[in-house]
Amino acid sequence: MNPLETRARPEPAATAEPAGGRRPGSVEALALLLILLVVFRNPLADLVSDPRLQTWTTVFVSVLVQAVPFLVFGVVLSAVIAVFVPRSFWAKALPRHPAAAVPAASLAGVVLPGCECGAVPIAGSLIRRGVTPAAALAFLLAAPAINPIVLTATAVAFPGNPEMVLARAVASLVVAIAMGWLWLRLGKTDWIRLPRRSDLDESSKSRAFWAACRHDVMHAGGFLVVGAAAAATINVVVPEAWLQTLAENPVLSVLALAVLAVLLSICSEADAFVAASLSQFSLTSRLVFLVVGPMVDLKLISMQAGMFGRRFAVRFAPATFVTAVLVGTLVAVVIW
């Protein structure tokens, strides 16, 4: 797929001439690209007949197909928040004091039945609408981990260990609240750089709504593609047998599964089944896998860097990772 990627990258605006505000450049580039794709369809298909590349393509496409409904749902909801919900609503709905708004926003994550791809644009919208960043970030972390679908999936995947559901919910909630409070203490507003969005200032609500939908799908979707490609690569390149040797050491096993959760980037609704199949690992390390996965993973880092800026992502993702590993281990020690 590499030749595709390099062909898709060049910035067309450089060659475009702004004629009356229209830039025919990118439409033409797109048309050319599509023609090339169709012409070279057979060589492309031959290229992916190698089992490794074929598996890569299958995993890449399926991560995206799986994420699309959640992405679109999240984008539509975030457009509704951005366009139709008045700013005053959030002032009334959330506790005035930021420190109290953080746990409230985390608990609100229970009502978003989706995975992490949808939560990123929603958190962006919330900040745009004046919600304190600490609360929006707590929501971003909590929503994919503690919603009813994910907790049900966890219960189904661990029939012999029902306490896993409670452990996951408690640990994820604690991490989300801790990160929100940590942001209040150490976070700097200028780390978050939300791109300027003149499309949201449109006079007509319908125009602003569809512009927001289009923009967020293109934006979050593009970063989702980057993350899906990375996850597919890890999936194909790292054989699970490597993990076998790490499973016996209690400390290494926790770290190994925490890193694996970041690299695999599995949807939070499915990660419990994968954790269950990693049966050679301790319950503690598998709990850490379930706590880290929905909060830090390759596609999330990519989407967060796109939504909030790189300066934000390089600080927020590692901090969340460390907090999630510590809290997950601590909860596991208490329970088991």
Closest distance between another protein and the C-beta of residue 107, in Å?
25
Closest distance between another protein and the C-beta of residue 110, in Å?
20
Query: How far is the C-alpha of 59 from the C-alpha of 264, rounded, in Å?
Result: 11
**With the CA atoms of 35, 54, 274 and 268 taken in that order, what torsion angle do they form, in degrees rounded to the nearest 10?**
-10
Closest distance between another protein and the C-beta of residue 130, in Å?
20
CB under 8 A, 24+ apart: contacts of 220-224? 220/71, 220/74, 220/75, 220/117, 220/120, 220/121, 220/303, 220/306, 220/307, 221/71, 222/306, 223/299, 223/302, 223/303, 223/305, 223/306, 223/307, 224/64, 224/67, 224/71, 224/117, 224/299, 224/302, 224/303
- Could you identify the residue written with the tokens 């995975």? 115
Cβ proximity to another protein, 88 vs 280, nearer residue: 280
Residue 130, Ramachandran bin (φ over 0: left; ψ between -120 and 50: alpha; else beta): left
Cβ proximity to another protein, 57 vs 326, nearer residue: 57
Collapse the DSSP code of 22 into the 3-class scheme (helix H, G, I; strand E, B; otherwise coil) and give the result: strand
Cβ proximity to another protein, 236 vs 324, nearer residue: 236
Query: How far is the C-alpha of 260 from the C-alpha of 190, rounded, in Å?
Result: 31
Cβ proximity to another protein, 11 vs 88, nearer residue: 11
Cβ proximity to another protein, 20 vs 86, nearer residue: 20
Cβ proximity to another protein, 168 vs 215, nearer residue: 215
Closest distance between another protein and the C-beta of residue 243, in Å?
8
50 Cβ neighbours under 8 A, 6+ residues apart: none
Closest distance between another protein and the C-beta of residue 260, in Å?
12
Closest distance between another protein and the C-beta of residue 145, in Å?
15
